[in-house]
Chain A
Amino acid sequence: GAVVSQHPSWVICKSGTSVKIECRSLDFQATTMFWYRQFPKQSLMLMATSNEGSKATYEQGVEKDKFLINHASLTLSTLTVTSAHPEDSSFYICSASPGLGDFNEQFFGPGTRLTVL
């Protein structure tokens, strides 16, 4: 099946620093990538949708200046948490889809655990 990787798998950083998380589709071209956030014992919450070569579309309540998303190629999307604070600590999961529109299966990465001290 299609494989999506994330790097790093976990990261610890100091408050005020920025952290970049990479999401790669290893064996297919991802027209669309999604970024989710998951708090302990809670569901995945969609943060933003990105299409290759265009600006990401953020969900309501998600600060686009804080969570910078770049989908520069058909196999790579990055999420940068800028000026991270302890409340940004969470599990971040990306998914990638080979097509646009409905019914295109999303393939999920293993997630990145971010801890901000």
Chain B
Amino acid sequence: AQSVTQLGSHVSVSEGALVLLRCNYSSSVPPYLFWYVQYPNQGLQLLLKYTSAATLVKGINGFEAEFKKSETSFHLTKPSAHMSDAAEYFCAVSWKGGGNKLTFGTGTQLKVEL
């Protein structure tokens, strides 16, 4: 079975500071990993995905994530936070042969302060 754990339901950073949102996965087969962002009253938007190509994945809005098999992690980072980054972020896992099903983490609410 596949699962995702997001450490920290709330993360607060200052504008211009590094953003680090943590995601660890558990999978019995090689996983595909995703980060989604959800703004209030909007649907989830794909930030980036790892599908067994390059381990460092760059996404939209300056975000990137690195797949580390040894640590079973896929943490999301952004060098400099912007006020517009405030949102809920979800890590999700899928797998080959899984029929495109996604298993989500519990989400991390990112707050950006002046």
Closest to A9 in B: B41
B56 interfacial by beta-carbon distance below 8 Å:
no
**Contact (A49, B9) CB under 8 Å given A43-B107, A111-B43:** no
Asked if A105 and B46 sit within 8 Å, CB to CB, the answer is yes
**Contact (A110, B106) CB under 8 Å given A103-B100, A104-B100:** no
Count of residues in A whose CB is under 8 Å from the partner chain: 26
A21 interfacial by beta-carbon distance below 8 Å:
no
A102 interfacial by beta-carbon distance below 8 Å:
yes
Asked if B98 and A93 sit within 8 Å, CB to CB, the answer is no
> Most A CB atoms within 10 A — which of B45, B101, B105?
B101
- Residues from chain A with Cβ under 8 Å of B105 in the complex: 43
A61 CA / B26 CA spacing, docked (Å)? 22
The residues in A between 81 and 117 inclusive whose CB is less than 8 angstroms from any CB of B are 93, 95, 97, 100-111
Give 6 new A-B contacts, CB below 8 A, not counting A49-B101, A102-B32: A43-B105, A49-B99, A93-B44, A102-B95, A104-B100, A108-B45
A4 interfacial by beta-carbon distance below 8 Å:
yes
**Contact (A106, B99) CB under 8 Å given A93-B43, A93-B44:** no
**Contact (A44, B97) CB under 8 Å given A102-B32, A109-B43:** no
- Residues from chain B with Cβ under 8 Å of A49 in the complex: 99, 101
Asked if B107 and A110 sit within 8 Å, CB to CB, the answer is no
Asked if B100 and A102 sit within 8 Å, CB to CB, the answer is yes
- Residues from chain B with Cβ under 8 Å of A105 in the complex: 46, 49
B104 interfacial by beta-carbon distance below 8 Å:
yes
**Contact (A101, B103) CB under 8 Å given A43-B90, A111-B43:** no
